[in-house]
């Protein structure tokens, strides 16, 4: 079988790897720019199914299941490619310094605890016992022991290296302009210079929606970019051992002790650029969590585009109405976390036409007029 994957982010790379592992002979990735340089590069790499949850439900279970795949994935990638993706499951903190923050923490704790999420409540002093460099103003916190992070740029590098070692064909600077549709069957894709035919086609183009043939059928479906600006601080005379969120931002300490901080949530079209206001906002939130960062050297800033679908959930499954075509996008704030499970689902669908993982909530069909009418 010959499979074509359009888009070259963490989702496409994860799907390609899983397909190859399961014996697909020819897998080709077409990427309009450089592999893994859009959202997958810009991300913070947090694995936060619990810290980002507002209760349980299908999306939570999907995220938690994907989180559980990371230890084996990290070991496999290290053995296969020599790249350490720096998986760290030390846990994530959520901290608050104001009356409103305390109310938010209480609310989160009660909703999440009732839903069976593994979360512990901490006093300000207990937070500082875990992280001596957080602000003395922190009054309360939550600890999510099952959450953590990976170095997402290393994850992308490892997946690329794995793809190269396993003869996955990577074509960069190949912008797909349209899909080839013959009698309701998607048989390939066309770039400006070349035509690519395949037995199966997967669209994994992140925030770019042009290739999704909605045919006016999925009225409520829309996919748009939500910009996030981030900054990085050089390693200094400080260290942190957890990812630390507040209601206004987060800091993520990397293995080499440099710290990154994020992120804005902006409707800015396809402008993946930083702005002075965005950087100020992110820096302020980071310094509020950890005042030591005020004197740290900020040596990097960047922005990326999260793929956001109108109901906030990813779109994963077959293209309804067409044969041999699949879609995997809309991973919004959780695409790094969801990359391993998305790879498995897509490989199941391509190889067997079904998957044991329940993706009903993520199929494009949820936007059909009939379904929308029922909800």
Ligand X SMILES: Cc1cc2nc3c(=O)[nH]c(=O)nc-3n(C[C@H](O)[C@H](O)[C@H](O)COP(=O)(O)OP(=O)(O)OC[C@H]3O[C@@H](n4cnc5c(N)ncnc54)[C@H](O)[C@@H]3O)c2cc1C
**Given the rule CB under 6 A, which residues bind ligand X?**
6-12, 30-33, 38-40, 42-46, 175-176, 204-208, 211, 228, 230, 262-263, 304, 306-307, 329, 331-337
Q: Which is nearer to ligand X, 38 or 146 (CB)?
A: 38
3-state SS, 31-44, equals: CCCCCCCCHHHHCC
Q: How far is the CB of 125 from ligand X (least distance, A)?
A: 28
Question: Angle at the Cα of 367 (from 329 to 214), degrees rounded to 5?
Answer: 65
Q: Which is nearer to ligand X, 124 or 340 (CB)?
A: 340
Q: Which is nearer to ligand X, 293 or 336 (CB)?
A: 336
331: its two tokens: 């991973």
Q: Which is nearer to ligand X, 11 or 97 (CB)?
A: 11
Q: How far is the CB of 170 from ligand X (least distance, A)?
A: 12
SS3 of 90, please? coil
Q: How far is the CB of 103 from ligand X (least distance, A)?
A: 25
Q: How far is the CB of 35 from ligand X (least distance, A)?
A: 7
What b-and-e string marks burial along 84-119, b requiring 16 or more CB atoms within 10 Å of the CB?
Answer: ebbbbbebbbbbbbeeebeebbeebbeebeeeebeb
Q: How far is the CB of 332 from ligand X (least distance, A)?
A: 6
Q: How far is the CB of 214 from ligand X (least distance, A)?
A: 16
Torsion angle in degrees (nearest 10) through CA of 159, 161, 163, 169: 130
- Who's near 50: CB < 8 A, 6+ residues apart? 64, 92, 112, 117, 118, 119, 144, 146, 147
CA distance 248 to 245: 8
Q: Which is nearer to ligand X, 68 or 132 (CB)?
A: 68
Q: Which is nearer to ligand X, 83 or 156 (CB)?
A: 156
Q: How far is the CB of 369 from ligand X (least distance, A)?
A: 27
Over its C-alpha atoms, the chain yields an Rg (Å, rounded) of 21
Residue 20: asked if its preceding bond is cis (omega within 30°), the reply is no
Q: Which is nearer to ligand X, 64 or 124 (CB)?
A: 64
């Amino acid at each position: 079988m010959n499979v074509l994957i359009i888009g070259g982010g963490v989702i496409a790379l994860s799907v390609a790897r899983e397909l190859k592992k399961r014996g697909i002979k020819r897998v080709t990735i077409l990427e309009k720019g450089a592999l893994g340089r859009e959202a997958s590069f810009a991300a913070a790499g947090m694995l936060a199914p619990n810290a980002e949850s507002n209760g349980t439900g299908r999306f939570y279970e999907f995220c938690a299941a994907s989180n559980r795949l990371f230890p084996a994935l990290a070991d496999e990638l290290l053995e296969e490619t020599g790249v350490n993706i720096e998986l760290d499951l030390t846990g994530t903190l959520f901290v608050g310094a104001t009356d409103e923050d305390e109310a938010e923490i209480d609310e989160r704790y009660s909703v999440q605890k009732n839903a069976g999420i593994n979360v512990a409540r901490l006093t300000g002093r207990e937070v500082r016992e875990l992280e001596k460099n957080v602000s003395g103003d922190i009054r309360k916190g939550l600890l999510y022991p099952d959450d953590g992070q990976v170095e997402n740029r290393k994850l992308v590098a490892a997946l690329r290296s794995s793809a190269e070692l396993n003869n996955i064909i990577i074509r960069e600077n190949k912008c797909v302009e349209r899909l080839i549709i013959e009698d309701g069957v998607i048989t390939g894709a066309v770039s400006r210079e070349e035509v690519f035919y395949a037995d199966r086609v997967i669209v994994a183009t992140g925030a770019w929606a042009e290739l999704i043939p909605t045919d006016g059928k999925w009225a409520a479906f829309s996919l748009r970019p939500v910009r996030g600006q981030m900054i990085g601080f050089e390693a200094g005379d400080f260290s942190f051992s957890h990812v630390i969120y507040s209601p206004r931002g987060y800091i993520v300490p990397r293995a080499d002790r440099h710290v990154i901080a994020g992120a804005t949530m902006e409707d800015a079209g396809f402008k993946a650029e930083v702005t002075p206001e965005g950087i100020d906002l992110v820096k302020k939130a980071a310094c509020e969590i950890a005042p030591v960062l005020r004197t740290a050297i900020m040596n990097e800033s960047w922005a990326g585009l999260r793929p956001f679908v109108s109901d906030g959930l990813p779109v994963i499954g077959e293209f309804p109405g067409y044969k041999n075509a699949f879609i995997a996008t809309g991973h919004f704030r959780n695409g790094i976390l969801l990359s391993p499970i998305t790879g498995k689902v897509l490989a199941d669908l391509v190889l067997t036409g079904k998957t044991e993982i329940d993706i009903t909530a993520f199929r494009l069909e949820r936007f059909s007029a009939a379904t929308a009418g029922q909800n």
